[in-house]
Amino acid sequence: MKLFADGAEKKSMLEMYENPLIAGFTTNPTLMNKAGVADYEGFAKEVLSTIKRKPISFEVFSDEFAEMEKQAKKIASWGDNVYVKIPITNTRKESSRSLIEKLSREGVKVNVTAMLTASQVRGVLPALTHGPASYVSVFAGRVADAGVDPLPIMKEVVAMLKDHPKIELIWASPREVFNVVQAAEIGCHIITATNDILKKLPTLGKDLATFSLETVQMFYDDAKAAGYNIQV
């Protein structure tokens, strides 16, 4: 399974580019906005001046398909390693499938994003079969946020992609390190991870008794540092 870094902080992205554990990158307009990116194209091109050998996804942000197509082609022109994120629908619930198929047939590497169900993936697969390599991003973390177990959905998608070797599944929006374990166990191709999760990866496989003791030590040290006192 490949690990993609999910974020839009330039310094962090360039540092992770040198990390052999990081196989690629994903971004989105929300992450860019949070990172204070004001010039979308300028930021992307600046990052791409260094990130040249690993795949990176940038997302369109128009709600109109004609404009979305123009944006997608412009984004794709920025580099051979660029994938264009196209949401499964626009905000009016209109399917993006026709646009995805057109872009894919024209050689654009597409990352179909914002999907939460297996039926959405199944419906878009025919649109990707005649194009180059592509990704389908299923937001497992958001599925879990809705109180639904994402594992059956992700397993179903992994199974349906066995007949589509050029299309890889991205486990998007993970919420905890254990999601990395889950994704690997079901044969998911890629999982994205924010900086918060990447920082926790060294705890994978850690002895739980040791982890417990370190937790006790943390509480003790923090209480002492804060100067807490209870009169007894």
Average pLDDT, rounded, for the chain: 97
Residue 216 lies in a domain: no
Q: What's the whole-number mean pLDDT along residues 64-88?
A: 98
Residue 213 lies in a domain: no
C-beta of residue 7 within 8 angstroms of C-beta of residue 47: no
> Catalytic residue among 52, 85, 109, 224, which?
85
Which two three-digit tokens encode residue 104? Answer: 């894919």
Range of the domain at 31: 2-203
Q: What's the whole-number mean pLDDT along residues 86-94?
A: 98
Assign residue 18 the CATH number of its domain: 3.20.20.70
Query: Per-residue DSSP letters for 161-188?
Result: GGG-TTEEEEEES--STHHHHHHHHTT-
Residue range 189-221, pLDDT digits in tens: 999 999 889 989 999 999 999 999 999 999 999
Residue 230 lies in a domain: no
- Residue 20 above 90 pLDDT? yes
Q: Specify the pTM.
A: 0.95
C-beta of residue 40 within 8 angstroms of C-beta of residue 32: yes
Residue 115 lies in a domain: yes
Residue 229 lies in a domain: no
Place of tokens 């040249």: 52
How many domains is the chain built from? 1
Residue 222 lies in a domain: no
Residue 225 lies in a domain: no
Which residues, 6+ apart, have CB-to-CB distance to 60 below 8 Å? 68, 71, 72, 75, 84, 85, 86, 87
Neighbours of 227 (CB within 10 A): 6
- Residue 5 above 90 pLDDT? yes
Residue 186 lies in a domain: yes
Residue range 23-72, pLDDT digits in tens: 999 999 999 999 999 999 999 999 999 999 999 999 999 999 999 999 99
Residue range 162-197, pLDDT digits in tens: 999 999 999 999 999 999 999 999 999 999 999 889
Verify whether residue 85 is a known catalytic residue: yes
Q: What's the whole-number mean pLDDT along residues 62-90?
A: 98
Q: What is the pLDDT of residue 195?
A: 87
Q: What's the whole-number mean pLDDT along residues 77-103?
A: 98
